[in-house]
Structure formats: C-alpha cells, structure tokens
Amino acid sequence: MSGTTKKTDQKAALDIASWLFNVVTSVGIILVNKALMATYGFSFATTLTGLHFGTTTLLTTFLTWLGYIQPSQLPWPDLLKFVLFANFSIVGMNVSLMWNSVGFYQIAKLSMIPVSCLLEVVLDNVRYSRDTKLSILLVLAGVAVCTVTDVSVNLNGFLAAAIAVWSTALQQYYVHYLQRKYSLGSFNLLAHTAPVQAASLLLVGPFLDYWLTNQRVDAFNFSFMSLFFLILSCSIAVGTNLSQFICIGRFTAVSFQVLGHMKTILVLVLGFTFFGKEGLNMQVVLGMLIAILGMIWYGNASSKPGGKERRSLSIPITKAQKLNGLSETDESDGKV
C-alpha cells in the first residue's frame, strides 16, 4: 500500500469517526433534553445552553491545566464576533420556535444550507458542480417532506427566523474560518469560545427564558431525576460542542449542514421506535428515503473533481501554520 493511499484511508477513517461522534452526541442530547424538558418540565432552553458551555469550560480549563491543550492565540475582535453570531443563533432559534408554526420553523432550518452555500461562494470563492447543487436540493426536498406540516408565518416570527438562520450560518462558517486562519485545533477554539459563551448566556438566559416561558429558573423545583437528566445533558453537551468544531474543521459548514439532516432522519426513526408510531405515515417514509438518497448523491458528487472546489483561498495558509501540531486536519482544496 502506497503512502498516499494509506494517508487517504486514515483520513477517511478519521472523517467517519468524527461524524459518528457528532451523530451519537447530537442525537443523545436531543433525546435527553426531550426528557428533561417535556417529562420533568425544565423548559429553560437558553439557560440550559449556558450550563452546557459552563461544563465545557470546566473541561477545557482542566485539560489546559494538565497540558493536553496547548496555549494558542485568538484575538478578542474575532472571539467577540464568533460569540455574537453563536449567541444570536441560540436565542434566534428559541424565539423562532416560539413565534412560528413548527412547519415554518423547519423551513427556516432547511434554508441554512442555501445561506451557507452563499457564504462559501461569496467569501471563499467556492464553486459547486451541477450534481452537487441538485443533490443538496434533493436532501432539502426529502427533509421537507418528512418534517414540514402546517406552515404559517407572521412578521415577528419571520424576523426571528431570519436572524436565527443567518447567525447560525455565520457561526458555522466562522468555526472553519478561525481554525484555518489561526491554525487552531477544535479543543483550542472551544477553550477560547466556551467561557465567553457560558458567561453571556448564563447572564442573559434566565431573563430570556422568563420572557419566553413566564417561569423563573431559580424557582424550579428540582427532583432527583430532573437533576440527573440535567447533569447528563451537560455532560453529553461537551461532546456535542467538541464534535461540531471537529466536523466543521474537517469538512465545511455546508457539508456539516447536509450531513446534519441525517441526524434529523435518525431522530425521527428513534422517536418512532421509542415513543410510539404516531405520525408515521407513507409521506414521512418517502421523505426519509428521498433525503437519504440525496445525502448519498451529495457525498459522491462533492468528492468528484470539480464537485466542490475553492478557486482561490481567501485565507493564506503559511508553511508555519501547516507545520503547527495544533491543527487536527490537513487543509486542502478537496474538502467536501
């Protein structure tokens, strides 16, 4: 086996492992949060996210103290921009879910892929082949058939959804951008961003949650089981946050969004398996099949020469950055 083939096989194995890590943690936290909020009544989503980042901060601080995370630099202006995008994404999604019908909320989530594509085209000069574009449309169509039911919209809901979509797309683009620009590994970037996100969300979260739910988080009556699920949610969130940075670093924001809809399908399947088959019909099954075919097509089309290519890198990667051991991936124009 040649060195090039071995390196390609190793990269493929790491890509699969990274994606499985993200799928397992993401689906796990969805199911745990569903139990925590629906069963035990802890409906304080923004505060919960702040606690997630607080737990992540404790872990990254501990690993830095042990020497597993090496010192790195991230200028404050870039850090604050990232946190701004990320927090607007979280708040925007929560408000959008409250003000919009479930159908329009799902449509807004689907629109993140076209927005992420636009950002890559404009900011990174990425070009997509016809097959890659069609495969993305097939994924969107399949997930829409699965999840979109009633669709009603109002001005406030539309604005909240627009803020959520654009801030989420910018945050995910910025993960990839910062990792390339400053040669940061996933743990390094998380160590920079998690403390600021935790502090800001824990400061704003209780007030926002009170506005959304008319309930105070400090008045919540914890039981043993609700506390158990809260701790479990925070623990899994560390893996979810890390796996998101790893996946976007290894792939791109668009691929992360496309493959992310596989988690939507998986959550639907697990929901029907564990929580009953109410809502399962031929439309949902057809949508799942269409989405899965689209994902397979996207993986094949985007990996072909010209399927998705960056004509000219907007961020020069220096020789020193390439040699930096902190980077977890070999940067190339062939990312999918």
Task: Report CA-CA distances (Å) from 301 to 216, 251, 297, 298.
Answer: 49, 15, 6, 5
- Mean pLDDT over residues 96-122, rounded? 80
Give pLDDT, residue 309: 67
| Distance of alpha carbon 101 from alpha carbon 151, whole angstroms | 6
CA atoms within a 13 Å half-sphere pointing along the CA-CB vector of 33: 21
- Mean pLDDT over residues 135-146, rounded? 82
Under the banding of pLDDT at 50, 70 and 90, the label for residue 1 is low
Q: Is residue 139 part of a domain?
A: yes
- List the structure tokens of 135: 């495969």
| Distance of alpha carbon 208 from alpha carbon 214, whole angstroms | 9
- Most confidently modeled of 113-127, 211-225, 281-295? 211-225
Q: Is residue 4 part of a domain?
A: no
Look at the block and give the residue holding tokens 């992420």.
116
Give pLDDT, residue 89: 92
Under the banding of pLDDT at 50, 70 and 90, the label for residue 313 is very low
- Mean pLDDT over residues 104-111, rounded? 76
Average pLDDT, the chain: 81
Give pLDDT, residue 170: 93
Give pLDDT, residue 57: 96
| Distance of alpha carbon 123 from alpha carbon 132, whole angstroms | 19
Q: Lowest mean pLDDT of 131-145, 168-182, 222-236, 249-263, name the range.
A: 249-263
pLDDT over threshold 80, residue 47: yes
Q: Is residue 170 part of a domain?
A: yes
pLDDT over threshold 80, residue 59: yes
What type of residue is 282?
M
pLDDT tens digits along 218-269: 999 999 999 999 999 999 999 999 888 888 877 777 777 777 777 777 766 7
Which domain, by its residues, includes 59? 9-309
| Distance of alpha carbon 89 from alpha carbon 165, whole angstroms | 7
User: Which residues have CB under 8 Å from 330's CB, separation 6+?
Assistant: 11
Is there a contact between 144 and 110 (Cβ–Cβ < 8 Å)? Answer: yes
Q: Is residue 323 part of a domain?
A: no
Q: Lowest mean pLDDT of 87-101, 212-226, 259-273, name the range.
A: 259-273
Under the banding of pLDDT at 50, 70 and 90, the label for residue 310 is low
| Distance of alpha carbon 279 from alpha carbon 195, whole angstroms | 40
Q: Is residue 318 part of a domain?
A: no
pLDDT over threshold 90, residue 71: no
pLDDT tens digits along 8-21: 778 778 878 888 88
Q: Is residue 317 part of a domain?
A: no
Closest among 317, 12, 27, 56 to 186, alpha carbons compared: 56
Under the banding of pLDDT at 50, 70 and 90, the label for residue 325 is very low
| Distance of alpha carbon 143 from alpha carbon 44, whole angstroms | 28
Count H helices, E strands: the chain? Answer: 12, 2
User: Which residues have CB under 8 Å from 319's CB, separation 6+?
Assistant: none
pTM value? 0.76
| Distance of alpha carbon 205 from alpha carbon 49, whole angstroms | 8
Look at the block and give the residue holding tokens 């501990």.
62
pLDDT over threshold 70, residue 123: yes
- Mean pLDDT over residues 94-117, rounded? 78
Query: Between 172 and 285, where is the model more confident?
Result: 172
Q: How many domains does the chain have?
A: 1
| Distance of alpha carbon 142 from alpha carbon 298, whole angstroms | 13
Residue 108 CB coordination number (10 Å): 23
Q: Is residue 315 part of a domain?
A: no
Under the banding of pLDDT at 50, 70 and 90, the label for residue 158 is confident
Which DSSP string do the residues of 253-321 spell out, in sequence order?
HHHHHHHHHHHHHHHHHHHHHHH--TT--HHHHHHHHHHHHHHHHHHHHHHSTTTEEESS-SS---HHH
User: Which residues have CB under 8 Å from 160's CB, separation 6+?
Assistant: 92, 95, 96, 99, 100
| Distance of alpha carbon 80 from alpha carbon 145, whole angstroms | 38
Secondary element (H or E) of residue 126:
strand 126-128
- Mean pLDDT over residues 43-62, rounded? 94
